[in-house]
């Protein structure tokens, strides 16, 4: 393994090839992409013993959060910001594992619901406990850095047209501090 930061090296190459005005943006986007890969790898390592990928975990977690433990497939896709075929594929896997099932809405048989099974509820709670303990409470930055990074990334998402909450990372940091008191 190399001792050199490949992103810093690439940035320097951008500058030396006359693209200095784009070098910082390239380094930012490449850094975010690499950080995302590293974090997803860490999350997937925690979820693997539960038989889940992050995509399937997100579906189970949304179903567990819902009052009826079920949700229209189209709503899952909208909340997760993924194509309907991705939701269908993930729910297929969850069904095969006995963690979710498909149901038809009684009042409108055209609507297909994904529903959390008892086994799915048990698995998602155990997976969430592991993620909280091993990843989410220690993402690799101190709490101030987490708040600042979240705020910056929220701003970046908003700039690119993503739907973002009005609550800032600073508020979220305060919520966490109040819960610890």
* Tens digits of residue pLDDT in 67-77: 999 999 999 99
Summarize pLDDT for 136-162 with one digit per residue, the tens. Answer: 999 999 999 999 999 999 999 999 998
Is the Cβ–Cβ distance between 47 and 131 less than 8 Å?
Answer: yes
Report DSSP state, residue 98: T
Q: Across the chain, how many H-helices and E-strands are there?
A: 8, 3
Is the pLDDT at 14 greater than 80, yes or no? yes
Domain extents for the chain? 1-50, 51-138, 141-181
Q: Domain 51-138 is in which class?
A: mainly alpha
Tell me, what's the pLDDT at 119?
98
Widest CA span in the chain = 64
Mean pLDDT, residues 29-42: 97
Q: What is the pTM of this model?
A: 0.83
């Amino acid at each position: 393994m190399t001792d050199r930061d490949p992103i810093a090296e690439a940035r320097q190459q951008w500058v030396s090839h006359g693209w200095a005005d784009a070098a910082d943006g390239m380094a930012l986007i490449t850094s975010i992409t690499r950080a995302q890969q590293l974090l997803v790898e860490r999350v997937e390592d925690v979820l693997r013993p539960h038989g889940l990928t992050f995509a399937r975990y997100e579906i189970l977690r949304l179903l567990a959060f819902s009052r009826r433990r079920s949700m229209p497939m189209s709503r899952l896709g909208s909340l997760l910001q993924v194509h309907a075929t991705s939701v269908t594929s993930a729910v297929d896997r969850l069904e095969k594992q006995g963690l979710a099932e498909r149901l038809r809405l009684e009042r409108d048989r055209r609507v297909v619901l994904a529903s959390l099974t008892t086994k799915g509820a048990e698995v998602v709670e155990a997976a969430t406990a592991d993620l909280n303990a091993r990843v989410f409470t220690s993402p690799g930055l101190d709490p101030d850095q987490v708040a600042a990074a979240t705020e910056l990334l929220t701003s970046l998402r908003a700039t690119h047209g993503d739907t973002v909450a009005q609550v800032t990372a600073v508020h979220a940091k305060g919520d966490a501090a109040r819960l610890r008191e």
